[in-house]
Amino acid sequence: MTSTSTSTSTSTSAGVKTGISISGLTMTLGRGENAKHILRGIDLDIPAGQITGLAGESGSGKTMTGMTICGLQPPQAQLGGRIDYRGTNLLDLSQRGLNDLRGTEIAMVFQDPTASLHPMLSIQTQLTDHLRHHTGLSKKDAIERAFTVLEQVKVPDPRAALKKYPHQFSGGQLQRIAIASAIMCNPNVLIADEPTTALDVTVQAGVLRLLRELCDDLGLAILLVTHDLGVMSALADTIAVMRNGEIVEHGDRFQVITAPQDPYTKALIDALPQADGSHGVTRIDALLLDNTVEA
């Protein structure tokens, strides 16, 4: 396995941000003969100010890794190893301690934005209630913060959007609002699990570009989970590849894409569809420069 070693903290105009460092993380479901080893000793740095891409085949454990960082693993899961964040191993925290961090310092964006938004509550209520609960801000100040964040995620006419309900938005706009909701409390870490998979192809690039901007502007530590190595190659700073509960490779995106060390990564890259209908790494430069993602 190759790895990229970086400091997990960074300083930006938005303040000092802190990333997460995972070491030897294991997860087992069931016991004895029925034991299923879901995560088999994961080592992964998710530094501030970077997008760490997590790719790999279906069922390899990408979602479980993201969920465990947020303390949302299945209740019967047996965990081992460490998830270090600001000097604390998150695995040692009580449920209450985790609840305090989740949604404030460590936020998550899911594949389906409707999963994180309540259909019967206005966008304003959804964005401000959680913030006020955690910060004690006045209603007026919380609404101003919601307005600013909706502007930041480029939802058109933020003032009017605050008064609307989820069903009044398209999928792409809704995912932007879900991202707004995730960053309302100014988190350090954002876990984005297949955030564009449910979206129309034409709006995927815009949402991905937004994640890149938020990472750069706010210094967020972003874990971007996707099975799409093409997206990774255009967007992530480093790429980690999972297989069967293990990280088989982690390194600089260019290095992983152009000179994969692990046979499984190589097979994934060889399987990438190319514009000319062939497969393989020959057109990888074009993929890296693909401006449908980075333009």
Ligand X SMILES: Nc1ncnc2c1ncn2[C@@H]1O[C@H](COP(=O)(O)OP(=O)(O)OP(=O)(O)O)[C@@H](O)[C@H]1O
CB of 73 to ligand X, least distance (A): 8
CB of 160 to Mg ion, least distance (A): 34
Size of the site for ligand X (CB under 6 A): 12
Stretch of 61-69, 92-100, 116-124, 168-176 lying at the interface with ligand X (CB under 6 A): 61-69
First to last CA, the chain: 32
CB of 196 to Mg ion, least distance (A): 13
Q: Which of 62, 145, 212, 250 binds ligand X (CB under 6 A)?
A: 62
Q: How far apart are CA 280 and CA 91, in angstroms?
A: 40
Stretch of 10-18, 52-60, 90-98, 202-210 lying at the interface with ligand X (CB under 6 A): 52-60
CB of 61 to ligand X, least distance (A): 4
Q: Are strands 238-243 and 246-252 parallel, antiparallel or unpaired?
A: antiparallel
63 forms part of the interface with ligand X (CB under 6 A): yes
CB of 240 to ligand X, least distance (A): 12
Closer to ligand X by CB, 65 or 104: give it.
Answer: 65
Q: Which of 24, 31, 35, 59 binds ligand X (CB under 6 A)?
A: 59
Stretch of 55-63, 127-135, 205-213, 232-240 lying at the interface with Mg ion (CB under 5 A): 55-63
x-marked contacts with ligand X along 67-86 as a string, rule CB under 6 A: -------x------------
By residue count, the chain amounts to 295
DSSP, residue by residue, the chain: -------SEEEETTEEEE-EEEEEEEEEES-GGG-EEEEEEEEEEE-TTEEEEEEE-TTSSHHHHHHHHTT-S-TT-EEEEEEEETTEEGGGS-HHHHHHHBTTTEEEE-S-GGGTS-TTS-HHHHHHHHHHHHH---HHHHHHHHHHHHHHTT-SSHHHHHTS-GGGS-HHHHHHHHHHHHHTT--SEEEEESTTTTS-HHHHHHHHHHHHHHHHHH--EEEEE-S-HHHHHHH-SEEEEEETTEEEEEEEHHHHHHS--SHHHHHHHHTSB-TTS-BSSTTHHHHHT-HHHH-
Residues between 113 and 132 with contacts to Mg ion, criterion CB under 5 A = none
CB of 234 to ligand X, least distance (A): 19
63 forms part of the interface with Mg ion (CB under 5 A): yes
Q: How far apart are CA 61 and CA 173, in angstroms?
A: 29
Which of the choices Mg ion, ligand X, none does residue 38 contact, using the CB cut-off of 5 to 8 A by kind? ligand X
58 forms part of the interface with ligand X (CB under 6 A): yes
60 forms part of the interface with ligand X (CB under 6 A): yes
Residue number, nearest CB to Mg ion: 63
Closer to Mg ion by CB, 131 or 242: give it.
Answer: 242
Point out which residues bind ligand X (CB under 6 A).
29, 38, 56, 58-64, 74, 227
Point out which residues bind Mg ion (CB under 5 A).
62-63
